[in-house]
Amino acid sequence: MTIPALASAMTSDQSFTKKYETHKFIKGRGSSKTFYPVVFSDIMGLEEGEIQGVHASDIKLALEGHVKEGHKFNPVGPLSEGDPGYNPTPSADDRVHVLVCVMSANAPQIKPSVLEKMKRVRETASDLGIPQMAIMTRIDEACEETEKNLRNVYKSKHLKKKMKDFSAAVGIPMNCIFPVKNYSAEINLNDDIDTLILSALRKMIDFGDDFLEKI
C-alpha cells in the first residue's frame, strides 16, 4: 500500500491536483528496483465555470503529449505554445493512451457545465482515437449494502442508476464504467477492494494495448 498521489479526504467541488504529474508503479526495492510499464498522468479536475478547474484545451494538449511534467495549471489562462510548460515535440511515450475519468459515487449530481466540459474532452479523445473509461470511487459511502459487503456492488440498484445516469450524460458505455472502493481507513490490503481496483486497471491496460497497436 502506498500514497504516491495526494488527495483531499474532504468532499469538495474544487480539484486537489494543481499540476501535471506522472506516477509510476515501483517493482522491487533497492538496487533491483524497476518500474512496471504503465504510468498514471494526474491532471487538475474539471470544475463549474469557465475560469474554474482545468481548461478543456489543456486536457487536449495533455492527450497529445504537449504538457510537460510538473506544469502548473492556470484556471484563468490555458497553456499555449511558448509557455515553459509546453512540450513542442512530444514522443509516443508523452501521449495519453487511455483517458480515464474519475468521479465519486457519493458526490451530488454533476453540474451541467461540468458535464459539458466532459463531453468536449471525450469528443477530443475520440477524434484522436484514444479509448475512454470511467472510475466511480467511494461506492461504500454511497450505498449501505455495498458498505456492508463489497461483493454486493453489482447488485446495488442505487449504484447502477448512478452509472446509467453518468453513461447517458457523458456517453461512456456502462461496461467501461468501473465501481471501486477507495483505501481510506484500512491499513492492510483487502482482497475485495483489490479485485475491483485490479479489474479496472486490467481494462486500462487492455485499452492502452489496443491503442498502441494502431499507432
150-193 pLDDT tens trace? 999 999 999 999 999 999 988 999 999 999 999 988 889 999 99
48-92 pLDDT tens trace? 655 566 788 888 999 999 999 988 888 778 898 989 999 999 998
pLDDT higher than threshold 90 for residue 107: no
pLDDT higher than threshold 60 for residue 11: no
Does the domain spanning 97-215 belong to CATH 3.50.4?
no
pLDDT at 142: 93
Model's pTM, two decimal places?
A: 0.85
Cite the residue boundaries of each domain of the chain with CATH code 3.40.50: 97-215
Q: Write out the three cell numbers for 162.
A: 448512478
